[in-house]
Amino acid sequence: MSSTAAVASNSAASTGAEKMLAGVYRGKGTVVCEEVPVPQIGEGEVLFRVAACGICGTDIKKIAHGFVDPPQIFGHELAGTVVETGRGVRKFRPGDRVVSFHHVPCEKCFYCERKLFSQCAQYKKVGLTAGFTPNGGGFAQYVRAMPWIVERGMLAIPPGISFEEATFIEPVNVAAKAVWKARVAEGEVALVIGQGPIGMLLTGLCKLKGAEVLTTDPLAARRAASLRLGATASFDPASDDIAKEIRERTNGRGADVVLLAAPQPRLVTDGLNMARAGGRVLLFAHNDPVLKIEFPAAAVGIEEKEILGSYSASITEQEEYARIVFERRLPLAELVSDRFSTERIAEALELAAKPNANTLKVVITHS
């Protein structure tokens, strides 16, 4: 094993003498594998070695459109092993297998009291970094967790659960929060548009809520995966009349709730059209800061359909949602289709952004 891939000793990590490999964002559309210093930790902090990190659609958008200033190291769906703890840390010790969130809210402010955690000022402060401006850091071999993350944002991985499975903790939480915001209930008909990694989680979680789930995706492999996650039927938007299919299955009403997990603006109108009067449409993927959306006003003003939004995770349900992963209530291991080393980060991001016929979830594995 080369020195860049070796586990950092306490002394090396503390002095910054060790180097590691990282996928560094260098500007719009560009992430380069580079050698950078292993982060140094301080009081109350933890250094852990990243074993696996899932690629999130939000990271892809930031990279593709240059929404943030370089240099940065992305990656927030991460799991690994503690290698060093700072003074005062009691919850974890070297050798512990952990998964970590990168945001933790204060739980005391106006927004937290209303469970709008992603609007909390502290929540917006990223607490995981592999260097440069903190932004997750999972695309690097080592990550530094700051004190508020160590205290309330890190979880131990139970024996028998793989690092790859554990990387789903954060996205499952994010998707579960969206299902909660959409008020998906037992006996309802839920339509999930788009079966990318998050769309598939929305499908499985709606099924766990007791809803009948219908899905759409242009890729056959993703439609098949949604059926394994509990969907009753999955449709190809290129060839199926989805609105007709939905109405035939709901006595002409339309879906009780529609969750949009694909970012195209036209899908908002499509989702409203496929929702019943008084139904709900949740925008999950429409979080681009420059994206503009138009829709028929009568759908909301006359037909009383609701348009909802959901972003990021829920701290108060953190352990409950983690149990979905740890108890294997969803077949998450089956969703990982592609694995790439740190050195091949650019290829991994390209595939995640432009999936082929068999692409489900893409994961970075650090050696």
What average pLDDT does range 309-332 have in this prediction?
94
The bridge status of strand 142-145 relative to strand 128-129 is antiparallel
**Rounded Cα–Cα distance for residues 75 and 365 (Å):** 12
| Domain assignment of residue 108, yes or no | yes
> What single-letter amino acid sits at 235?
F
CB–CB of 53/75 below 8 Å?
A: yes
Which DSSP state fits 140?
A: B
pLDDT band at 17 (very low <50, low <70, confident <90, very high): low
Backbone angles phi, psi at 280, to 5 degrees: -120, 145
| Final residue before a domain boundary, out of 294, 309, 324 | 309
| Domain assignment of residue 166, yes or no | yes
> Looking at the structure, do residues 226 and 212 belong to the same domain, yes or no?
yes
**Rounded Cα–Cα distance for residues 162 and 264 (Å):** 34
> Looking at the structure, do residues 98 and 136 belong to the same domain, yes or no?
yes
> What single-letter amino acid sits at 45?
E
Closest CA to 299 of 278, 326, 315, 317: 278
> Looking at the structure, do residues 16 and 140 belong to the same domain, yes or no?
yes
pLDDT in tens, 232-250: 999 999 999 999 999 999 9
> Looking at the structure, do residues 191 and 130 belong to the same domain, yes or no?
no
The answer to whether residue 223 scores a pLDDT higher than 50 is: yes
The answer to whether residue 196 scores a pLDDT higher than 80 is: yes
What average pLDDT does range 46-59 have in this prediction?
97
Secondary structure (3-state) at 76: coil
> Looking at the structure, do residues 48 and 166 belong to the same domain, yes or no?
yes
| Domain assignment of residue 178, yes or no | no
> Looking at the structure, do residues 106 and 152 belong to the same domain, yes or no?
yes
Task: Compute how many other C-beta atoms are within 10 angstroms of the C-beta atom of residue 110.
Answer: 10
> Looking at the structure, do residues 223 and 257 belong to the same domain, yes or no?
yes
Question: What's the confidence (pLDDT) of residue 90?
Answer: 96
Look up the domain containing 347 and give its range: 3-172+314-365
Closest CA to 119 of 324, 309, 347: 309
| Domain assignment of residue 52, yes or no | yes
**Rounded Cα–Cα distance for residues 175 and 197 (Å):** 10
Q: What percent of the chain has pLDDT over 90?
A: 91
Question: What's the confidence (pLDDT) of residue 315?
Answer: 86
Question: What's the confidence (pLDDT) of residue 316?
Answer: 86
> Looking at the structure, do residues 23 and 59 belong to the same domain, yes or no?
yes
**Rounded Cα–Cα distance for residues 259 and 143 (Å):** 33
The answer to whether residue 128 scores a pLDDT higher than 50 is: yes
What average pLDDT does range 130-135 have in this prediction?
96
What average pLDDT does range 163-179 have in this prediction?
97
Secondary structure (3-state) at 324: helix
Question: What's the confidence (pLDDT) of residue 12?
Answer: 39
Burial of 167 by CB count in 10 Å (0-12 exposed, 13-18 middle, 19+ buried)? buried
pLDDT band at 9 (very low <50, low <70, confident <90, very high): very low
CB–CB of 71/25 below 8 Å?
A: yes
Question: What's the confidence (pLDDT) of residue 14?
Answer: 43
Question: What's the confidence (pLDDT) of residue 141?
Answer: 98
**Rounded Cα–Cα distance for residues 226 and 219 (Å):** 11
> Looking at the structure, do residues 243 and 103 belong to the same domain, yes or no?
no
Closest CA to 206 of 195, 222, 190: 190
The answer to whether residue 42 scores a pLDDT higher than 50 is: yes
Angle at 198 between CA 114 and CA 294, to 5 degrees: 70
| Domain assignment of residue 177, yes or no | no
> Looking at the structure, do residues 16 and 147 belong to the same domain, yes or no?
yes
> Looking at the structure, do residues 198 and 294 belong to the same domain, yes or no?
yes
Secondary structure (3-state) at 175: helix
Q: What is the CATH number of the domain that holds 76?
A: 3.90.180.10
The answer to whether residue 8 scores a pLDDT higher than 70 is: no
pLDDT in tens, 252-301: 999 999 999 999 999 999 999 999 999 999 999 888 888 899 999 999 99
Backbone angles phi, psi at 28, to 5 degrees: -45, 120
| Domain assignment of residue 99, yes or no | yes
| Final residue before a domain boundary, out of 309, 324, 355 | 309
Secondary structure (3-state) at 220: helix
Q: How many domains in the chain?
A: 2
> Looking at the structure, do residues 222 and 264 belong to the same domain, yes or no?
yes
| Domain assignment of residue 93, yes or no | yes
| Final residue before a domain boundary, out of 270, 288, 309 | 309
pLDDT in tens, 92-110: 999 999 999 999 999 999 9
The answer to whether residue 2 scores a pLDDT higher than 50 is: no
Q: What is the CATH number of the domain that holds 301?
A: 3.40.50.720
Least confident residue range of 7-21, 87-101, 208-222, 229-243:
7-21
